[in-house]
Structure 1
Amino acid sequence: MKSLSACSRRDFLSALTGTGVAMMLHPLSSWAISDIDPRVAAIVAASYGIDTHNHVDVPLTKEDIPGPDIELAGEMKRAGLTAICMTFAVDYQQLVNPGDAYDRFLNGLTAMDAELAKNRMKRALNMDDLRRAKQKKQPIVIQSVEGGHWLEGQLDRVEVGYKRGLRHLTLLHDSDASTPLGDVYTNVPVFGGLTKFGADVITECNRLGILVDLAHCDGNTVAMALKVAQQPVFISHTGLNTQLGTNPNFAKMMYKRLISKENAKIVADAGGVIGVWTHLADTPLAYAQNIRALVDVVGVDHVCIGTDTKMTPAYRKPGSGFGGDKGKGQNGGPQKPRVGERTNEAWADQKAGFYYAVVDAMLKTGFNEEEISKIGGGNFCRVFDAATKK
């Protein structure tokens, strides 16, 4: 993506001469503009800040649509993000009957339609849409779904999703689909890696123009998927299994969800990009150091940001379907949000919106402006453009 890199450098130089304007374009609401380093503000304004895996919880049952009002555009502006891959999953509540997963999928998209309309936002269907959103300083989303449960073995549904704006599909999630697509990395492997249906789904995504995400896939599934894919794939949210943080119990629980150096190199060698999540970092600086660790393994052109956090408050109506949230509090009521659950509150002592905090930490870790631009969103843009270009 030579043209994107050139554009980013040009935008950055322009932003450096007009930092005050840049800060005005990205209001921080409760965070004081005076607290933001002008160099940080200029990088945020010039680069594509993209969170490649961000949950926006919406109702998945028809009677609960359209769901609550959410301040999606405002939260994204406070974060300093150009775009998020706006995802939901249909398997957090048990799937019992045939058709349940597909109903939840369609209801989730309809609820997403309503939330985007309320926020006067659109879905990015290709790289041109992202460019226009960046130029207009208008946040935008890339529609993502985590897990192919909703397909229920019917390949033609991939095109249904495409026509509804789906441009990012994570093949697997926590549980096996009724027609499995491959082995989930936190479960005992039973399929020998990618299944025939999983391979067919990748091929169909490549044909239509949907970016394939291999997060939640075990090593065999990833290796087999790379042989099938005709377009770049990526892993939206993980971390190196050598970066386990400071909590040994949490690290033990998370270990299966992390990628080895060897597997990370395989993905990068195939042109892929790997997202670093925030879950193993107690501070923005620790997060930037986790990014550095992965860059040292695969190179700066193959790393992106994928937090696996929530841009907006969780939707938790007791007894109803919801997207992207696993738990309820006592007696089925609201569960108290945890530190790290919300994107703009990823760290306890965070002083600015998410991308502002990350850019600041990356500068302190030794990254330069061009490297931050690549990791912040440029690398994802490259694979998204390749996957969706007609």
Structure 2
Amino acid sequence: MRPLPSLACLAALTTLSCAHGSNPAGAPGSTDLAARARALAQRLIIADGHVDVPYRLQETLGPDGEPTEDISQRTPGGDFDYPRAVEGGLDVPFMSIYIPADLQQTPGASKTLADTLIDRVEQIARKSPEKFAMAYSVEEAQRNTKEGKISFALGIENGSALEDSLANVAHFQRRGVRYITLTHSKDNLLSDASFNTGKRTWNGLSPFGREVVAEMNRVGIMVDVAHLSDDAIRQAVEVSQVPVIASHSSCRHFTPGFERNISDELIRAVAAKGGVVMINFGSSFLTAEANASLEKFHKAIQAFMESRSIKSFGAPEVAAFIKSYQAEHPVTLARVEDVADHIEHVVKLVGIEHVGLGSDFDGVGPTLPTGLKDVSQYPNLFRVLLERGHSEADIEKIASGNVFRVWKQAAAHAASK
């Protein structure tokens, strides 16, 4: 998601505190369920709707223009690498092709970056064919899993990558993109953004945005309503002829006033069309307490930088300020149980068929909850769901079954045209 640039940099600068105590996976009497959850994570296909690896690597390019991290091996930083993904049972991460909103001011820049990031994901798969493979359909993802490979599916985060050309929808479909998040942190040519709370350029989707939704339906790209304003989500659901997804959005029920999360009314609308809400793991998405704490933290950092005209989040002065701030104001984090709460909220509202996982790993930096710090820890979430009485069949739907259904429906609709 990367809603604030500071999140990517904070991961290397500070360790956040948790007000909730020890790792819940170590709770008394949890040993048997923990083992069962680990086995379940290995047996089921886990598809995560949003992992920000491509842009993470873009930010770590060396002098030769290549990433300094090799995610086919264990990496010291970040939330995703091959060994940890295998440990956690992750099979199908949707690699987020994240396009910063500021690039839309420069014609051609957004599309160029999108193609560059797609190239990079393909290159990683080519370099380690025994570990990774691209997946352009559910069937390919399932086949890759049987062969012991992790599938890279592709989703563009920010429809500004389309520039002002409807033809670019088909271009990115040919490149393997299987969902597009219509906007990001700012209104663009397609849609209003949830973070632009004081401005509504289009009062929902633009006329071009409506054409883009129809074209995405035509070519088989899922419509992603994460990051959209409420009116834009409502209109996207109405315009789309197939179910939509919210690839990494949690429930506003737990964070009143945080429009980036999705309201109960809109969860019902997405589900009524057959769609899926995929829960974001970032602490600010999960509890009002964490949301307020992290918002205060971000504002304090921004105010400090502005007061000293500092432009780089990586500046030593910023690191020193963060360390000092943290000592006096420990930041509140959520827990793995809070992610389960959001899953259960969707289930209670609209049923088990309409919820999935959209972690935002590598996109929310150090704000991840206790018990879900990286891709090795999906079993901790499964353990909580088992403890609460959810069946393995239900967990399979959450893990991948629901988003696979929508992916297949989008492909089938396109094939029928």
Task: With the length of structure 1 as denominator, give the TM-score of the two structures.
Answer: 0.75
What is the aligned partner in structure 1 of residue 49 from structure 2? 52
1:375 to 380, 394, 398: 398
Do residues 100 (structure 1) and 97 (structure 2) align?
no
Tell me how far apart the structure 2 counterparts of residues 266 and 308 of structure 1 sit (CA, whole Å): 23
1:360 to 371, 376, 383: 383
Distance change >3 Å, CA 55–CA 274, structure 1 → 2: same
Distance change >3 Å, CA 156–CA 293, structure 1 → 2: same
Q: CA deviation digits over 1:337-389, x for unaligned, max 9?
A: 5252xxxxx52686992221111111112211111111111101100111123
| Alpha-carbon offset, residue 134 of structure 1 | 2.4
| Counterpart secondary structure, 1:274 | strand
Give 5+ residue unaligned stretches, structure 2.
Answer: 1-30, 73-80, 288-333
Tell me how far apart the structure 2 counterparts of residues 286 and 87 of structure 1 sit (CA, whole Å): 24
Distance change >3 Å, CA 298–CA 136, structure 1 → 2: same
Does the 8 Å contact 1:66/1:114 carry over to 2? no
Does the 8 Å contact 1:339/1:347 carry over to 2? no
What is the aligned partner in structure 2 of residue 166 from structure 1? 177
Does the 8 Å contact 1:304/1:379 carry over to 2? yes
Distance change >3 Å, CA 349–CA 276, structure 1 → 2: closer
Q: RMSD across aligned C-alpha pairs, in angstroms?
A: 2.5
Does the 8 Å contact 1:59/1:107 carry over to 2? no
| Alpha-carbon offset, residue 185 of structure 1 | 1.4
After TM superposition, the structure 1 = structure 2 runs for residues 225-304 of structure 1, keeping only pairs within 5 Å, are: 225-244=236-255, 255-279=258-282, 280=286, 282-304=334-356
After TM superposition, the structure 1 = structure 2 runs for residues 1-390 of structure 1, keeping only pairs within 5 Å, are: 37-56=34-53, 57-59=56-58, 65-68=65-68, 69-71=70-72, 72-91=81-100, 94-120=103-129, 121-177=132-188, 180-187=189-196, 188-244=199-255, 255-279=258-282, 280=286, 282-310=334-362, 338-340=366-368, 346-347=369-370, 353-389=376-412, 390=415
Q: CA deviation digits over 1:317-349, x for unaligned, max 9?
A: xxxxxxx68xxxxxxxxxxx5252xxxxx5268
Does the 8 Å contact 2:194/2:228 carry over to 1? yes
Q: CA deviation digits over 1:59-104, x for unaligned, max 9?
A: 2899864423223332321221111111031215544421111211
Tell me how far apart the structure 2 counterparts of residues 223 and 352 of structure 1 sit (CA, whole Å): 32
Distance change >3 Å, CA 349–CA 83, structure 1 → 2: closer
Distance change >3 Å, CA 101–CA 139, structure 1 → 2: same
| Counterpart secondary structure, 1:256 | coil
| Counterpart secondary structure, 2:366 | coil
Does the 8 Å contact 2:101/2:184 carry over to 1? no
Does the 8 Å contact 1:50/1:376 carry over to 2? yes
| Alpha-carbon offset, residue 265 of structure 1 | 0.5
Identity %: 27
Does the 8 Å contact 1:213/1:234 carry over to 2? yes
| Alpha-carbon offset, residue 46 of structure 1 | 2.8
Distance change >3 Å, CA 190–CA 93, structure 1 → 2: closer
Tell me how far apart the structure 2 counterparts of residues 64 and 96 of structure 1 sit (CA, whole Å): 27
What is the aligned partner in structure 1 of residue 298 from structure 2? none
| Alpha-carbon offset, residue 296 of structure 1 | 0.8
Give 5+ residue unaligned stretches, structure 1.
Answer: 1-33, 245-250, 311-323, 326-336, 341-345
- Size of the aligned set, in residue pairs, is 318
Paired letter, 2:71: I
Distance change >3 Å, CA 92–CA 112, structure 1 → 2: farther
Moved more, 230-239 or 40-49: 40-49
Does the 8 Å contact 1:275/1:306 carry over to 2? yes
Paired letter, 1:48: I
Does the 8 Å contact 2:84/2:375 carry over to 1? no
Moved more, 66-75 or 266-275: 66-75
Paired letter, 2:280: W
Tell me how far apart the structure 2 counterparts of residues 133 and 111 of structure 1 sit (CA, whole Å): 19
Does the 8 Å contact 1:288/1:365 carry over to 2? no
Q: CA deviation digits over 1:288-328, x for unaligned, max 9?
A: 12211221111111010111122xxxxxxxxxxxxx68xxx
| Counterpart secondary structure, 1:67 | coil
Tell me how far apart the structure 2 counterparts of residues 353 and 97 of structure 1 sit (CA, whole Å): 38
Moved more, 367-376 or 109-118: 109-118
Does the 8 Å contact 1:339/1:348 carry over to 2? no
| Counterpart secondary structure, 2:50 | strand
Task: With the length of structure 2 as denominator, give the TM-score of the two structures.
Answer: 0.71
| Alpha-carbon offset, residue 52 of structure 1 | 0.6
Moved more, 301-310 or 346-355: 346-355
Moved more, 141-150 or 282-291: 282-291
Tell me how far apart the structure 2 counterparts of residues 286 and 163 of structure 1 sit (CA, whole Å): 38
